[in-house]
């Protein structure tokens, strides 16, 4: 009797297991079908609602681009005298009449493009869909700008700008609470005057001045040439790599890292550390910190053949692993190039650089 009972129980368990597997497979099939259907619907909606605008322009000299709402925008050049605005990703939850729109006005020598880009977020899922496709949308606005403009001004709040492949005399970013990424730009002047913006520029050439300021975000300058760079932060960090041009850099509480530069350098921090990493110091360099450490990584000739003036009021000075613990000052009078470093409450440390480390990105 016991054997018969156990046998029947095993058969019943197998049936239940088989039934559970069938149910699980059905759920997977239904979910997959729902997901595929929803994705096709999303793609069709995007294609039908894609926004493509062509705006004829006069050959004015100045263009103001104004954003009335938070926006991700990519800006590059147009091959003719028209402005093109495109947006491929469209949120289903927005009324079609409330999608991104713009107004364009022209006066004497001045054009103004104003963009309104309303967005809606929703956590509601589509029926039978295991993925939230409501957010499967590219919210970026794409702009192509004619090359006849001599000055471009970009204004807005909570704006994330990516700009590339432009040649413009002057570019001014009046943006707060966002980010700016600039690549392959040729200009006389580029400036970012507001605070609270991440700023990155690379592979660019500025004939005159690059100015960037930030309150609590970072500034990065890579593979870029400018006659004069003025970079300042309060709490953000500043990083440069492979730059050419004179630099004036200041930071209150952020760190400063300079990696291979050509030109006079003047760096001042209150509470931030300074790293100066260059295989050959051929221009006057001044590094000053109130409460931060200063680290210099360079070749021996830059220390042995230049005029050196180091001072650590309450810290130690170390040069090529030799600790000058008894000295608070170190000074030489060789050469014409001046290398000065001073800190009140930090240390000054000089390390030898690998002879093959001649550019940022060296491994």
**Cα–Cα distance between 201 and 216 in angstroms, integer?**
18
What residues of the chain score a pLDDT lower than 50? Answer: 120-129
All residues at 6 or more sequence positions from 56 whose CB lies less than 8 Å from its CB, including other chains: 81, 82
| Domain presence at residue 129 | no
pLDDT of 21: 78
| Domain presence at residue 318 | yes
User: With contact defined as beta carbons under 8 Å apart, do 239 and 260 qualify?
Assistant: no
User: With contact defined as beta carbons under 8 Å apart, do 210 and 230 qualify?
Assistant: yes
pLDDT of 126: 47
Does this model's pTM top 0.85?
no
pLDDT of 121: 45
**Cα–Cα distance between 117 and 69 in angstroms, integer?**
6
Q: What is the DSSP letter of 132?
A: -
| Domain presence at residue 115 | no
| Domain presence at residue 92 | no
pLDDT of 244: 98
pLDDT of 140: 86
pLDDT of 323: 83
| Domain presence at residue 32 | yes
Q: What is the DSSP string of 22-89?
A: HHHHHHHHHHHHHHHHHHHHHHHHHHHH-EEEEEE----SEEEEEESS-EEEEEEE-SSSEEEEEE--
pLDDT of 57: 94
Q: Residue 6: give the domain boundaries.
A: 1-49
Picking from 34, 49, 64, the residue at the C-terminal end of a domain is 49
| Domain presence at residue 358 | yes
**Cα–Cα distance between 118 and 105 in angstroms, integer?**
21
Question: Nearest Cα to 167, choosing from 63, 41, 295, 76?
Answer: 76
DSSP bridge pairs for 221: 201, 240
Q: What is the DSSP string of 181-235?
A: EEEEEEEEEEEE-SSSEEEEEES-EEEEEEEEEESSS-EEEEEEEEEEEEEEESS
**Cα–Cα distance between 227 and 246 in angstroms, integer?**
6
Domain count for the chain, please give it.
2
pLDDT of 67: 94
Instruction: Tell me whether residue 26 is exposed, middle or buried, using C-beta atoms within 10 angstroms of its C-beta: 0 to 12, 13 to 18, 19 or more.
Output: exposed
CA 119 to chain centre: 23
| Domain presence at residue 138 | no
């Amino acid at each position: 009797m016991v054997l018969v009972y156990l046998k029947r129980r095993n058969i019943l368990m197998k049936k239940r297991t088989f039934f559970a597997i069938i149910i699980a497979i059905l759920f997977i099939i239904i979910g997959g079908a729902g997901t595929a259907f929803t994705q096709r619907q999303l793609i069709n909606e995007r294609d039908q609602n894609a926004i493509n605008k062509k705006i004829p322009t006069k050959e004015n000299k100045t263009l103001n681009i104004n954003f009335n709402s938070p926006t991700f925008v990519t800006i590059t050049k147009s091959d003719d005298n028209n402005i093109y605005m495109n947006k491929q990703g469209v949120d289903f939850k927005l009324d079609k009449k409330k999608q991104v729109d713009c107004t364009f006005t022209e006066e004497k020598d001045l054009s103004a493009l104003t963009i309104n880009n309303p967005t809606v977020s929703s956590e509601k899922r589509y029926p039978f869909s295991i993925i939230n496709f409501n957010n499967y949308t590219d919210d970026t606005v794409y702009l192509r700008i004619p090359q006849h403009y001599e000055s471009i001004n970009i204004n807005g709040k909570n704006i994330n700008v990516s700009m590339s492949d432009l040649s413009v005399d002057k570019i001014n970013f009046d943006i707060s609470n966002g980010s700016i990424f600039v690549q392959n730009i040729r200009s006389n002047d580029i400036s970012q005057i507001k605070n609270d913006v991440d700023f990155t520029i690379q592979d660019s050439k500025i004939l005159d001045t690059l100015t960037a300021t930030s309150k609590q975000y970072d500034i990065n300058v890579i593979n870029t040439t400018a006659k004069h760079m003025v970079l300042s932060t309060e709490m953000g960090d500043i990083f440069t790599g492979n730059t050419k041009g004179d630099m004036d850099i200041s930071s209150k509480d952020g760190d400063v890292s300079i990696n291979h530069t050509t030109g006079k350098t003047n760096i001042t921090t209150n509470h931030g550390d300074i790293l100066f990493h260059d295989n050959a110091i051929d221009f006057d360099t001044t590094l000053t910190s109130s409460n931060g450490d200063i680290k210099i990584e360079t070749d021996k000739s830059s220390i042995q053949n230049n005029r050196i003036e180091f001072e650590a009021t309450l810290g130690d000075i170390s040069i090529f692993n030799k600790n000058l613990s008894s000295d608070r000052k170190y000074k030489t009078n060789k050469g014409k190039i001046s290398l000065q470093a001073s800190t009140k409450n930090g240390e000054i440390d000089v390390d030898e650089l690998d002879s093959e480390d001649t550019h940022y990105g060296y491994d």
